[in-house]
Amino acid sequence: MNFQLDIIKDKVEFFEAHSIQELEKRINDQIIHNQAILLTVHSVSHQMYVSEEGKRLYSAVVHFKTSSN
């Protein structure tokens, strides 16, 4: 049996939450998980949407990359 392990070099994850605190917690939890596979945050993009009913929805896209080149 032959095993071949590939290293993840890039990973993009999407997050949504109804409060900015919840969104931040979800992102921070995932940062800790991704550190275990040697990925660090490369960039973050975020937005807020307000519905017609006045409800807010926060979203973010986080790009993780390996720190070594």
Residue 1 lies in a domain: no
Residue 61 lies in a domain: yes
**pLDDT at residue 68 in the model:** 66
Question: What's the number of domains the chain is made of?
Answer: 1
Task: Tell me: pLDDT of 67 over 90.
Answer: no
29-61 pLDDT tens trace: 999 999 998 999 999 999 999 999 999 999 999
Q: Tell me the torsion sign for CA atoms 3, 39, 36, 11.
A: negative
**pLDDT at residue 30 in the model:** 97
Residue 4 lies in a domain: no
Other CB atoms within 10 A of residue 39 CB: 22
Question: What CATH number is attached to the domain comprising 53?
Answer: 3.30.1660
Residue 3 lies in a domain: no
Phi/psi of residue 51, nearest 5 degrees: -75, 175
Predicted model pTM: 0.83
Phi/psi of residue 27, nearest 5 degrees: -65, -45
